[in-house]
Amino acid sequence: MRPVGGDFSLFDRLTAHNRERLKDASFFKSILGFISVNHKPPLGFFRTLVVERSGEHKQELDLKTFGTQPIVGAARLFALDAGVEHTNTSDRLTALQLAGYEDATLLKELQEAFEFLTLLRLENQLQQARGNQPLSNYVSPEKQGTC
């Protein structure tokens, strides 16, 4: 959350209070962890991408739900556990690496994957905008050359 108006010191006090209460909130962290891993990577048996089978987005992949969202959730959980205050996913992962939190290689790979998927998503939305199409988080792996 971020303040948008009013007395920002109230926001600072609230976040400090929440941070303090969540330090030992193992049940909350377990729920956050469950939510983070609830969306499995869209990989098939032979390293193929699993795409929508029917509907408006047939043969497309949701880059947000199955790409960036699990990374965002993991970064939130790690940041909460480590006391990192950043709200931006890349900033969180960088701060975690600098703090020596857990596996530095994993954190670096998560950051690279997050940045790649975000760039792919934005490039796809730029192409949609140029084609006067509605913007979405769905990409066709065949059109992107990723299959």
Is residue 102 a part of any domain in this protein?
A: yes
The percent of residues in the chain predicted with pLDDT above 90, rounded, is: 47
- Domain total in the chain: 1
Is residue 2 a part of any domain in this protein?
A: no
Work out the average pLDDT over 41-70.
73
Supply the range of the domain harboring residue 89.
8-144
| pLDDT higher at 141 or 49 | 141
Is residue 98 a part of any domain in this protein?
A: yes
Is residue 3 a part of any domain in this protein?
A: no
C-alpha to C-alpha distances, 99 to 79, 91, 92, 94, nearest whole angstrom: 10, 12, 10, 9
Residue-wise pLDDT for 60-99, tens only, equals 888 898 889 889 999 999 998 898 989 899 999 999 999 9
For 124, half-sphere exposure in the C-beta direction (CA atoms, 13 angstrom radius) is 23
Q: Is the dihedral of CA 136, 138, 140, 145 positive or negative?
A: positive
Task: Report pTM.
Answer: 0.79
